Every structure is written in structure tokens, then in C-alpha cells.
Structure 1
Amino acid sequence: MTLDRRTLLAAGLGAGLTAVGGAVAWAVLRQPADSDDLAVEDILNDPDQPVLGNPQGDVTVVEFFDYQCPYCKRGHPDLMAEVEADGNLRLLMKDWPIFGDASVLAAQLVLGGVADGTYLAAQSALMATPARLSEDDVRAVLTGAGLDPAAMLDAYRQNRQTWDGLMGRNSRQAAALGLQGTPAFIIGRSLYAGALDRDRLRRAIAEARGTA
């Protein structure tokens, strides 16, 4: 099963966008099987993407985000609280650094933290900051969290092909989905363009489970 912006529009889904709690939602399962622009499974199951929450969870939540996006940061505590409270959510935080060099550096350093198990701590520290960051701010925040930005950058460079490949795929996926900015979520098999508060997040998860 595949999806792309063109087939969304051709299927009438683009023209029939519905507001779900302030976010725009597309159903993504009803796509023709003859388009190979973007496979849903490529988004949900990229082998290089770090997985948070429950790796065996019954619902996958994907967020395309940037470390300088104020709406991403504002909603992050609710997202993480729901992942912990639910216990059965598989969370993919897809780096899409669209706000400049500091965003790229932040993504590189956090992905570098996968090697030594500091990925979540690094991500949490940066998501708790004010929206705009300089490259020096990124390093200072990570240092303040007890992490070593130089070691994280070295780890990123040692695995640069993997991480650059992952971020490149994330960017192509965002373009194919027609995303205009961050945040954007895929919950189950529906796409929500825009911020989701916790109530709307819960409703989207319930809909993905077929219990709403």
C-alpha cells in the first residue's frame, strides 16, 4: 500500500481535508496500489530510525519535528506523557531539520547519542528549551544535561552514512506527503498536519485503534 501527495489529491482526500481538533487529517490507507512514490511501511519501519516507547506497541505514532520548532516543543511533554501512560505506543521522532544549521547540528548530535544510549536524554534536554537555538546553545544545553557534545558529534561522524541517509529519507517523505512545516504526525495510518494537544492526541490514538 502506497501514498503520495498526488494520489492523495487524485483520491479526493486532499480536497476533502477535515479538521480534527485543529489539525488537518488525511486517511492514508485508501491509496492506489500502482504508485510507488512512497510506501507507508517505509515511513513506519525505517530500520535506522530510533524507536521510543514500546517497540511492539499496537499503534505507531510518528512525528516529523525540528528542535527549533516552538509547537513541537510545546506539545512534547504531552506526547511523552501519553506514551508513558499508554504503555502500548511505538514512537518515532523523525528529524526534519528545516530551521537552519543549529537544527541540523542538534539532530546530528542527538542521533550520535544512539551509540552510547544517550539519545533520549539528549532529545529531552533540547526539546525542553526555548524555540530558537544557536549552535553554541545546542552544545551548552547538552553539556548542561551531563552529556558530551564532542563525543556525540564523533559518534555521529563515525556513522554518518546511516544518519545522513535517515534524515534524507525523512525529508523526502515530508515532501512526498506535502508537509508545509512542523510538527506533523502520522498516528496509525492517518496524517495530522499541525500541533495536537493531549486530548486530540488521545482521540487520534483511539481512532487508530478503532475504539473512538
Structure 2
Amino acid sequence: MHKGIDVALAGLTHSRRDLLALLGGAAALAAGPDLAQAQGEPTEASVLRDPDNPVLGNPDGDISIVEWFDFNCPYCRKLEPELRQVVQDDGKVRLVLKDWPILGPVSVLASRVALACKYQGKYDKAHDALIGVSSKLTEPRIYELIAGADVDVDRTKQDLAANAKAIDGMLARNNETAEGLGFQGTP
């Protein structure tokens, strides 16, 4: 987080909702004044309500936190427990997860595999396993981690093959939206 934001947060004694609003505003400022107008502005629905993006917490919550992340991003890994704590502490928060694999081919594979786990109802388990490691992911490690999270690896591979077009389409939408907002990195 930006040093000035850290200082501002340290001095606050407001509610978690106030902090969420401040963090949301800080994220918007970090995106810069020009939100990549050449690509068109993303809509609220494309950011908050893409039905293909996994949602943790309360799916009908009145506060939405949207995280663009890469499984190989060390900052994303560091932020994850904080986000989960917010979701746990406030039953009205919905956490929208936008897989945005920008750190190379293994990141793309990790996102595709995690998203294929959705078809078993185990995206959250795959996500937790992949984001919870401290080392860089490799292809064998991805499958080892999801197997350890009680995910059927063979079925995941079948679901990935059968649903590749839908998964890749969602990843493309996440990328277009992130670029449309002017994001230059994760989280």
C-alpha cells in the first residue's frame, strides 16, 4: 500500500466500512485520472456483476470488494488473509474475484485451472490452495496443490478442456475491464 495511505489508515478509528470506502477511493486514485478512455469505460455491471466471476462472502452483500489478482503475485498473496478477514467480520460484504493472470504463462494456467474447479463447486478450495503458497507456482505444483485441497485433478482437466472457451472468455473480459480502468498491475 502507498505510504501515505498507511499513515492515514493508522490514525483512523472508524468502522470497517469507513476503511473499505477509503481503500476503494485509494484504489481509484491509483488508477489515475485517465481511465484508459481509448478502450471505453467499463460498466458497473461488468465490474460487479459478471456472473462468471467467483464471489466469496455474501453474494447479495451491500458492499462489494473487487480484487484483480494473479496467483503468482506476492502482494496478492499478502492481501488475501486481510480480505478474508473483512468478509468474515462483515456478513454484508461480497468479494468479487477477478482472475487477472498477467505474470506469465504459469499464472494463466493457474487461473484456468482454478476456474475449471468451479464446475466441481471447488473454486474457493483451489483459490485458497494456489494463493496460499509463498513460492512461485509451476505446472506440477498447481496440480499438486489442488489435489491437496480435495479437488479431483482428472475432472478438473476434463472440465478445463470442455469449458476452455468460457474460461478464456472470462479471463479476456477481466483483462479488458482492468485495462479499461487503467490498472497496471495486481492487486
TM-score exceeds 0.5: yes
Aligned equivalents of 1:39, 1:21: Cα separation in 2: 29
Matched, 1:20 2:5: yes
Q: Secondary structure at the match of 1:133?
A: coil
User: Are the aligned partners of 1:73 and 1:131 in contact in 2 as well (CA < 8 Å)?
Assistant: no
One-letter amino acid of the counterpart of residue 25, structure 1: A
Q: Secondary structure at the match of 2:28?
A: strand
Choose which of 146, 152, 155 in structure 2 pairs with 1:148.
152
Choose which of 165, 176, 181 in structure 2 pairs with 1:177.
181
Q: Match of 1:159?
A: 163
The worse-fitting range, judged by mean Cα deviation, of 151-160 and 103-112 is 151-160
User: Are the aligned partners of 2:41 and 2:181 in contact in 1 as well (CA < 8 Å)?
Assistant: no
Task: Write out the 4+ residue segments of structure 1 that deviate beyond 4 Å after TM superposition.
Answer: none
Q: Secondary structure at the match of 1:113?
A: helix
* Residue 121 of structure 1, CA deviation: 0.7
User: Are the aligned partners of 1:101 and 1:135 in contact in 2 as well (CA < 8 Å)?
Assistant: no
User: Are the aligned partners of 1:67 and 1:107 in contact in 2 as well (CA < 8 Å)?
Assistant: yes
Q: Secondary structure at the match of 2:185?
A: coil
Q: Secondary structure at the match of 2:134?
A: coil
User: Are the aligned partners of 1:48 and 1:166 in contact in 2 as well (CA < 8 Å)?
Assistant: yes
User: Are the aligned partners of 1:69 and 1:131 in contact in 2 as well (CA < 8 Å)?
Assistant: no
Aligned equivalents of 1:136, 1:69: Cα separation in 2: 18
TM-score, reference length from structure 1: 0.70
List alignment gaps of at least 5 residues for structure 1. 1-18, 184-212
Q: Secondary structure at the match of 2:41?
A: coil
Cα offsets for 1:164-205 (capped at 9, x unmatched): 11100000111111111110xxxxxxxxxxxxxxxxxxxxxx
One-letter amino acid of the counterpart of residue 170, structure 1: N
Aligned equivalents of 1:156, 1:90: Cα separation in 2: 26
Aligned equivalents of 1:44, 1:20: Cα separation in 2: 24
* Residue 91 of structure 1, CA deviation: 0.9
Aligned residues: 163
User: Are the aligned partners of 2:117 and 2:151 in contact in 1 as well (CA < 8 Å)?
Assistant: no
Percentage of matched positions with identical amino acids:
38
* Residue 131 of structure 1, CA deviation: 4.0
One-letter amino acid of the counterpart of residue 177, structure 1: L
TM-score, reference length from structure 2: 0.78
Structure with the largest fraction of helix:
2
Matched, 1:83 2:68: no
